């Protein structure tokens, strides 16, 4: 099979020297990509942490005949790279494990003179009774002399949802879902709803609290399986291979 794997986090810039990101380093996605390579698949990997490949592949370093690695840094980088690979490549499966930014900055502001935010009431106020106002403080490097700054955040497009709807990928698609502070039963409900929304074939779901121990994988024969984390790469790839085989003979 020809498999595309995304891994790592994305950055969204605040200015030219600052960015917002998340804590994930792409070890899970990298492990899946390397396992796919070791199962004799052709692998293209998009990652924000290419150094993790060296950390995890000490026994068998991938060779260029079946391995391509493309590094990205920002949300926009990943969107561009992913779209380019889907539109120009021929993939049997996409395993989208990257932890993609849900929001991006759309302006940075300071309160205008006489404007203040009452954190207890969660309301903007002014002494004069006039409408509160903010001053634009966007810059190549935002100054650090303001008493407080306010960052406006807007939602980014869901890249996984563009794979089918906009980029017209029709082969196997694997989605990942992470939740915090939910029960396993609630995680299952969220995961399946999310999978259907993105038209993904398989979902890997876990909680932050249990991320190092287990994950839910499915639907396989109509059900989700709770698997040990160390078995995730092997069991996920086995499920992908089985689905691909079924399509090939269907």
Task: Quick: pLDDT tens for 44-64.
Answer: 999 999 999 999 987 678 999
CA 198 → CA 77, 93, 159, 175, distances in Å?
21, 15, 10, 8
- Please state which architecture CATH assigns to domain 2-102+156-248: 3-Layer(aba) Sandwich (3.40)
Residue 223: predicted pLDDT = 96
pLDDT tens-digit profile of 166-223?
999 999 999 999 999 999 999 999 999 999 999 999 999 999 999 999 999 999 999 9
Q: Mean of the pLDDT values across residues 234-244?
A: 97
Helix-helix angle 232-248:27-38, to 10 degrees: 50
Average pLDDT for the chain: 95
- Measured between alpha carbons, how far is 122 from 7 in angstroms, rounded to an integer? 38
pLDDT tens-digit profile of 131-151?
999 999 999 999 999 999 999
Contacts of 120 (CB under 8 A, 6+ apart): none
Q: Mean of the pLDDT values across residues 67-91?
A: 97
- Measured between alpha carbons, how far is 174 from 93 in angstroms, rounded to an integer? 8
Residue 58: predicted pLDDT = 74
Bridge partners, 125 (sequence order)? 116
pTM: 0.94
Domain boundaries, the chain: 2-102+156-248, 104-154
Proportion of the chain above pLDDT 90, given as a percent:
94
- Measured between alpha carbons, how far is 246 from 250 in angstroms, rounded to an integer? 6
By the 8 A CB rule, do 70 and 81 touch? yes
Of the listed ranges 44-48, 112-116, 163-167, the least confidently predicted one is: 112-116
């Amino acid at each position: 099979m020809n498999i595309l794997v995304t891994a790592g986090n994305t950055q969204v810039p605040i200015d030219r020297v600052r960015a917002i990101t998340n804590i994930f380093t792409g070890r899970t996605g990298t492990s899946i990509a390397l396992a796919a390579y070791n199962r004799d698949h052709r692998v293209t990997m998009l990652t924000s942490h290419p150094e993790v490949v060296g950390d995890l592949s000490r026994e068998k370093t991938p060779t260029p005949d079946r391995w391509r690695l493309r590094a990205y840094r920002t949300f926009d980088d990943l969107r561009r790279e992913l779209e380019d690979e889907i539109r120009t490549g021929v993939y049997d499966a996409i395993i989208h494990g990257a932890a993609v930014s849900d929001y991006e900055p759309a302006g940075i502001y300071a309160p205008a003179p006489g404007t203040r935010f009452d954190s207890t009431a969660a309301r903007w106020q002014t002494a004069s009774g006039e409408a509160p106002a903010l001053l634009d403080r966007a810059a190549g490097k935002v100054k650090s002399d303001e008493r407080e700054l306010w960052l406006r955040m807007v939602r980014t497009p869901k890249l996984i949802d563009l794979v089918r709807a906009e980029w017209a990928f029709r082969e196997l698609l694997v989605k990942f879902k992470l939740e915090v502070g939910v029960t396993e039963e609630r995680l299952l409900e969220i995961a399946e709803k999310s999978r259907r929304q993105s038209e993904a074939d398989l979902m890997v779901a876990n909680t932050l609290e249990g991320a190092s121990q287990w994950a839910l994988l499915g639907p396989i024969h109509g059900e989700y399986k709770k698997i040990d984390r160390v078995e995730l790469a092997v069991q996920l790839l086995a499920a992908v291979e089985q689905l691909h085989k079924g399509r090939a003979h269907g």
